[in-house]
Amino acid sequence: MMDMCNSCNNMAYNSINKQNGIKLNKKNCTIITFCIFFIFFLSTINNLFKYIHIKTSRYILTYSNILYLISFLSLNKQVESLIGLDDGILPINEYINDLKKILKRIDFFFVRRLVYCVYKFWEYVIRNRIKVKTFCKVGILLSILNFLIQKNVQNDFIRIFCSLYLFPLLFILHISFKIVMRDFMVFQCDLLMNEFGFLLIFLNLSDSYYLIYSNTLIICLLRLVCFKILFNSGVHKFVYKGSQWLDLKGCENLFLSQPLPSILSYIAYCKFDKSIICFLIIISEILLSWLIFCSSKLRILFYIIFINIHLSCHIICNNIFLSYIFIILFFSLFDDSIINFFSTSGNIPDLYKNNELVNLSIYLIVCLINIIISLFYLIFVFINFVPFFEKWNILDFQCFHIVYKFYYYFCPLNVCNSYAMLTCTNKCRQEIIIEELHKIGNECKWQYVNFNYKPGNINKIGSILWWGHIPRLEWKLYYFINYTEYNKKGIYPVYICSFLKKLYNREKEIISMFKEKNIQGVPLMIKLTSHYYMMNIKGCREVDSPMCNFRMEEYKQWECGKYWKRRKVRVMETLKYRENKTN
């Protein structure tokens, strides 16, 4: 089902994991939130009359196309195996009827119409048996074309007019995939890409010296998103695991607890002082993030701090695509006075110096765009109250029902989200390991099945995903263990059942996800086992007590390798494929 309210799901998950958190009363939370927006409005007014951001916008609009390019390239590599017609893990043709039902629950006309267009689009794809990856290639071509237009076209009106179609098309194509990818496209980088892509449409609309005030409004909205990412992440840490972060122990297992650790994660886990990293993250999120609303020099200072602390952590955690989004999104902290130090493109063109409009029609267009962007600015700020409110884990802001109402109007599009970065710090790393029973000679032996990126082989560690690829199935399998821990009924997600069935049948798209080039034939049985993984720093030394909540007798001996040591916790399921017999 489409993620109608991602933030509510986050709160439900957080309530399970909450421990030793710090909770403020509703009055204090309201005061802090209104203080944030008061300072934000003051910053907007200051920027409107003091700074110009046209060159900043050009850089953001140009290089944001690289983000779309990476996103569609990554999807192109795996989308057929995930949602391909008939053969995908979650085939799109089996979901299209559910999508039609969801339309009836969407209240806002604009959002319902957009989702309806998405529904008709995928219905056309299914009816004509078009490969899903074809539209990844379309996204790749559109992003390259838009990049070339933004890079080379100097005439404002031609550039805005061309990209006026391309940016919305890229956004709609991206959200079309997000809707039908379901469980495979629910990560924070996907939500942020949606929100950023939505703002890019309006940033492009204001990309002219005739529209410097409207342009500044959108830049300020981008800065609000930057602040929201950092401040909400800091609030999340204190509300749900406050004592752990106050004791500077929040990063003890940060690099161990990421979905796909790399060699950089291993080095950081073994060598870095995690208490210093924890201190720097907290200070930058709760205190230094306010510099986003300050003067030009202080904003640049914060950008340098952010690059050195947060961006480094995300790269070490192998969240490369998210790092690329941050580089371009946080470039909104710059203004043209800073860029002029490094750029030789000159000052404002003579045509615009006196703000002289060419004719009446252009004047009317400029007025219309100014009105549209001013209204959009107010609405976007208005609905962003909700992500700030809900981070305090207080659900009864009764006086703000109108804010929540507008927020949920736009919720299906994920254009206003709540974030919690660098918060995954579980005390232990649990992995679901797949084992297969094969007959070798006269004996039957269980053999491990290792993925390309996630931990499996204890003598190897995942590669660094420098180009920004997101192996979505492997990310989901990492979080699957948490799902099974809290699902008392023992019901597995549909994507797990479908994946295991296709793995058993040795379907080509699924087999390509594994390291074994010559993976053996159909197994006799498949077994899901839960393993406890630790990075192997000091050899195979026993720990005094288990860090996870399992009985001591369930633990086996450590199995040690070059990078990892692991021991089996328990067998979760032993499966044998059985076909239904019909009379």
List pLDDT tens digits, range 26-50.
777 778 888 999 999 999 999 999 9
Asked whether the predicted pLDDT for residue 119 surpasses 70, the reply is yes
Torsion of CA 505, 506, 511, 514, to 10 degrees: 80
- HSE-up of 515 (CA within 13 Å, CB side)? 15
As a whole number, mean pLDDT of residues 184-209 equals 93
Pairwise CA distance, residues 194 & 18, whole Å: 28
Higher pLDDT, 519 or 336: 336
User: What is the tens place of the pLDDT at every residue in 224-262?
Assistant: 999 999 999 988 888 877 778 888 888 888 888 888 889
| Spatial distance between the Cα atoms of 276 and 268, rounded to a whole number of angstroms | 12
Element containing residue 447 per DSSP (H, E): strand 443-449
The predicted model gives 366-389 an average pLDDT of 90
Any idea which of 39-53, 125-139, 348-362, 541-555 has the lowest mean pLDDT?
541-555
Q: What integer is the mean pLDDT of 138-154? A: 94
Helices (H), 104-155: 109-127, 133-152
Across 516-536, b (16+ Cβ under 10 Å) vs e yields eeebeeebeebbbbbbbbbbb
The answer on pLDDT for 550 being more than 50 is no
Token pair of 397 as six digits: 């802001």
pLDDT given at position 356: 54
CB 506 within 8 A of CB 519: yes
Residue 290: the pLDDT is 94
Query: 155-169 pLDDT, tens per residue?
Result: 888 899 999 999 999
Q: What is the amino acid identity at position 95?
A: Y
pLDDT at 466: 87
Q: Name the pLDDT band for 124 (thresholds 50, 70, 90).
A: very high
Q: Which residue would you say has higher pLDDT here, 372 or 103? A: 372
Q: What is the mean pLDDT of residues 368-376?
A: 93
**Does the pLDDT at position 177 exceed 50?**
yes
d(CA 172, CA 122) in angstroms, rounded, equals 12
Give the per-residue pLDDT at 540: 55
Q: Residue ranges per domain, the chain?
A: 54-209, 210-345+357-384, 429-576
* Average pLDDT over the chain, rounded to an integer: 82
402-448 pLDDT, tens digit each: 778 888 888 888 898 888 888 876 777 888 888 888 888 788 888 88
Mapped onto helix, strand or coil, the DSSP state of residue 206 is coil
Answer for the pair 413, 198: CB distance below 8 angstroms, yes or no: yes
pLDDT band, residue 387 (cuts 50/70/90): confident
Q: What is the DSSP letter of 91?
A: -
Q: Which residue has the higher pLDDT, 478 or 193?
A: 193
Task: Find the mean pLDDT for residues 454-479.
Answer: 87
- The confidence score (pLDDT) of residue 323 equals 94
Name the percent of the chain in helix, strand, coil, to the closest 5.
60, 10, 30
- Which tops the pLDDT comparison, 399 or 203? 203
Question: Coil, strand, or helix at residue 388?
Answer: helix
Band (pLDDT 50/70/90 cuts) for residue 23 is: low
Q: What percentage of the chain exceeds 90 in pLDDT? A: 34
**Average pLDDT over every residue of 178-197:** 91
The DSSP element (H or E) to which 360 belongs, if any, is: helix 360-383
Most confident listed range (439-443, 479-483, 541-545): 439-443
DSSP letter string, 539-568: SSPPPSS-SSSS-GGG----EE-SSEEEEE
**Residue predicted with more confidence, 579 or 131:** 131
Per the model's pLDDT, the better-predicted residue between 209 and 16 turns out to be 209
74-98 mean pLDDT: 87
Closest by CA position to 14, among listed 423, 416, 408, 313:
423
132-147 average pLDDT score: 95
